[in-house]
Amino acid sequence: MSIHPDQRYLEGLLQNDTLLVQEIYQRFAGKIKHHILQHQGTEDDAADIFQESIIDIYHQAKYKELQLTCPFEPFFLLICKRKWLNELKKRSRQPVTKRLDDLYEVGEDAFAAAEQVVKEEAQANMYLAQFERLGEKCREILRLSLTGEAQEKIAAAMGVTYGYLRKKKSECMATLLSFIQAQKI
Amino acid sequence: MAAYNQEDIIRYVEGDMPPEERLQFEAILREDAALAESVQQYREVTAVLSARLQPDPGLQQLKATLETQRSHFHQKGKVVAFKKYFATIGVAAAVMAGIFLFRFYSRDTNYMANYGNIEMQVAAERGNNEDTLLQSAALYFNEKAYTKVIPLLDTYLSKDSSSQTALYYRGIAATQTGAVEAGMTDLVKVYQGESVFKYDAVFYIALYHAQTGNKKEALIWLKKIPADASAAAKAASLEKDLK
């Protein structure tokens, strides 16, 4: 499928194009505010969801090389709405039963792309939240070794042997995986 | 996958398993969906953390920009979709007028500065993707970000090649970015058509000639503007400045 001209929004976010960010707010803030106020939320909830949705898209564009094959508007509005629905569920309120695409005629591609962004970003945020639950030492070891530092260098900097570092890293990772596993059950 | 624990999975993915154990692991991996899923998950977790534990100055900058826009959610009555806004104030669908804001401190020869401050206004009535293209174009046009206007109007015109609104503003944007020939071609097309922009286009062509010192050509174009056209007053004023 060919890339939609609205790909410019994703490129603009990657470059922190302030004019484009302004455009996104001017065009969509009213719609999202209206939707969230209608569905048990506040202005602050709307502002948070809007901001988080833009950051989700930024991450997908940066790390997953997301390419839009549909217009930006339904894609973005669906992400905001889906995230709000998830938030309502988290707050254990009665989730709204309305269909997400009630207000827009949404193509399947927009729907699928939005769902994927929300799902993958929720998962990435869960991984990061579980990472934060690890002890300080574990976080330091994993942070250094996952972001490309040479293991020998890390061991020397921490004053431990290379063998100990490897063992510890493996233990920390195993703990993290068990935390993540527990979230999925 | 009872036979293998998390640490085994890590050893396997990290390439720390002795070859014999590795072969055995792979044989079970092919049969055991749960084990395969755990291997996949480990790969995903390391990929996500490797990317996102890195400092990201771009993200920090974007977050700062987003904060500056947060007030959009706390304005009363200001955040209104274009469509509703225009509907509310009762601007008919046909009203697609460019507003010329021009200043009268003439007597200097920077005609473009005096007469060329043009704002793009569009009335959205269909609420479709084409409308949003025009709205986006207007936003950039009014910020004088003309290079961003042109591709948007190109896309618009690829779907509706007869749109005088798009042709008129693309003509101006192109002229402003130095693509004078393309700009003039668009403006002449608008002049040859019958729209509310007809004589505004003529005026802009005259203005361009005035600015580039081609007084004769400027006057020829100004003469085409009839007295009852909305551009007549500024045409008369420019003509006076030129003489």
Amino acid letter at B36? Answer: A
Q: Encode pLDDT of A5-53 as tens digits.
A: 999 999 999 999 999 999 999 999 999 999 999 988 999 999 999 999 9
CATH 1.25.40.10-classified regions of chain B:
84-242
- CATH fold of A135-184 reads Arc Repressor Mutant, subunit A (1.10.10)
Question: Residue holding tokens 């973005």?
Answer: A76
What is the topology classification, in CATH, of domain B84-242? 1.25.40
SS3 (DSSP) at B207: helix
Mean pLDDT by 10 residues, chain B (243 residues): 80 92 94 93 94 92 93 65 46 42 50 82 66 82 85 87 88 89 88 85 90 87 86 86 84
Helix pair A43-63, A18-38: axis angle to 10 deg: 130
Q: Is the per-residue pLDDT at A108 higher than 70?
A: yes
The pLDDT assigned to B71 comes to 87
- In degrees, rounded to 5, the angle at the alpha carbon of residue B178 between the alpha carbons of residues B173 and A18 is 55
Instruction: Report the C-alpha dihedral over residues A21, A24, A30, A33, rounded to 10 degrees.
Output: -70
Q: CA-to-CA distance for A26 and B122, rounded, in angstroms?
A: 15
Location of structure tokens 């939707």: A35
Instruction: Specify the residue for token string 């949003």.
Output: B132
Q: What does the alpha-carbon distance between residue A153 and residue A132 come to, in Å, rounded to a whole number?
A: 23
pLDDT of residue A185: 63
Q: Is the pLDDT of residue A121 over 50?
A: yes
A92: confidence class by pLDDT, cuts 50, 70, 90: confident
Determine the distance from the C-alpha atom of residue B222 to the mean position of all C-alpha atoms in its chain, rounded to a whole number.
Answer: 32
Q: Which of B155, B135, B44 is nearest to A127 (CA)?
A: B44
Domain boundaries, chain A: 7-128, 135-184
A109 compared with B190, residue with greater pLDDT? B190
Cβ atoms of B135 and B122 within 8 Å: the answer is yes
Residues 32-71 of chain A with CB under 8 A from chain B are 33, 43-44, 46-47, 50-51, 54-55, 58-59, 62-63, 71
CB atoms within 10 A of CB A1: 8
In the prediction, which pLDDT does B95 show?
A: 41
- Backbone phi and psi for residue B146, each to the nearest 5 degrees, phi listed first: -65, -30
Using CB atoms, which residue from A31, A63, A127 is nearest to B81?
A: A31
| Residue bearing tokens 């260098």 | A153
More confident residue, B18 or A91: B18
- Is the pTM higher than 0.95? The answer reads no
DSSP annotation string for A154-184: HHHHHT--HHHHHHHHHHHHHHHHHHHHHHH
Look at residue B2 in the predicted model and tell me its pLDDT. Answer: 53
List the one residue out of A98, A57, A94 whose CA is nearest residue A77: A57
Residues in A touching B145 (Cβ below 8 Å): 19
Interface test with A, best of B48, B61, B75, B148 (most A CBs within 10 A): B48
CB contact under 8 A, A19 and B143: yes
| Token code pair at residue A68 | 């839009």
| H or E segment and range at residue A22 | helix A18-38
Beta strands in chain B (DSSP E): 99-100, 118-119
